[in-house]
Amino acid sequence: GPRNGEDASAITLLLCRIWDNAPELFSFSLYGSPVTPQLLREVPFPFQRLSTLRVDADTSVDAFFLILSESAATLVYAKFREIQGRASQRSKEISLPELQSLDLGGSGDSDGSSPPLTRLLRWISAPPLSTLRIRFDREWSLESFLIFLQNTKYNLEHLELDVTGLTEEDEITCLRLLPFLESFDFTPSEREIDEDDGPEDDDNFQGEHFMAALREFDTVTGKFVVCPKLRKMTVDYFKLFDPTTRIFSDMIEDRWRRFPTPADFEVEIVISGITELAHQADEFPREMLRLLALQKAGMNITFDGESYLEELMYVKPLGT
């Protein structure tokens, strides 16, 4: 950002010339210095004519809402790498009639420098929105998120939520409201593995209730009750692990076999802390073998982590 009045004037003049010579400019990426209301006042960014915006810099909450307000009429795709600071009191929603994709990032749960992003969403109205990604977020707010879903007319097709405090029941509540959803991803960006803890110690453990909800089937319509259009799920295996059941593999097999075009159904399994899990669980290799058997039977299952099987066999050889 400008460091003094002379610098600001020079930069403003230069940027005005750039915008004037680029009347067809619809896509814009912003890098570098933190984005603040002061910077937006000093530099005449052409937000009002953009359809695509990427902000790869720390953005204050107030600057975030200012940018959305200025670009509201034309914005189709928006990505903000990291939103910072505390939100000012708001009383009015921002209407984004063209917005189809929104990608927001925070700083995680470590330092609290980012606001809870789901609490910002309640002030956004975007009926055409089909894709939402929330990364490194904290202090999940179901109330705010439900207001946001109402403002988007429940049209989401792709949902990625990486938020601390997001529970199994809240996930089910949200999924039940999204009949057009084609993919979801609730895996965390970061997690510290404690060898004394199992997934039942995780607030976001996906267990029997989650699997049962995704298996509910309406024999009259011939469709699943929850997310009938779902074709891809990305899951964190650590959250699904249960040594006494195979409810996860049962659920994905059911969804796969009933999908109109089974070849298009996809499951991505994120493996993290594999060594710790293998040490804890006698049944872990058998469950993994079931998933590998489904993969061999034709289900499109991918494992995020190239060395997962090698680590697993090193810790617990097959058949033990």
Distance, in Å, from the CA atom of 164 to the CA atom of 259, rounded to the nearest integer, reads 31
Distance, in Å, from the CA atom of 30 to the CA atom of 59, rounded to the nearest integer, reads 10
pLDDT per residue over 22-50, tens digit each?
666 688 888 888 999 998 888 878 788 88
pLDDT per residue over 243-286, tens digit each?
567 899 999 999 999 999 999 999 999 886 555 555 555 555 56
Q: Is residue 105 classed exposed, middle or buried when 0-12, 13-18 and 19+ CB atoms within 10 A define those classes?
A: buried
What pLDDT does residue 168 have? 93
Q: What's the angle, vertex CA 116, arms to CA 109 and CA 213, rounded to 5?
A: 90
Residues of the chain with pLDDT under 70: 1-13, 15, 19-25, 190-204, 241, 243-244, 272-286, 305-320
26-315 belongs to CATH 2.60.40? no
What pLDDT does residue 306 have? 52
Question: What residues form DSSP beta bridges with 227?
Answer: none
Contact 157, 181 (CB under 8 A): yes
Closest CA to 86 of 106, 110, 104: 106
The helix or strand, by DSSP H or E, that contains position 249, with its residue range, turns out to be: helix 247-258
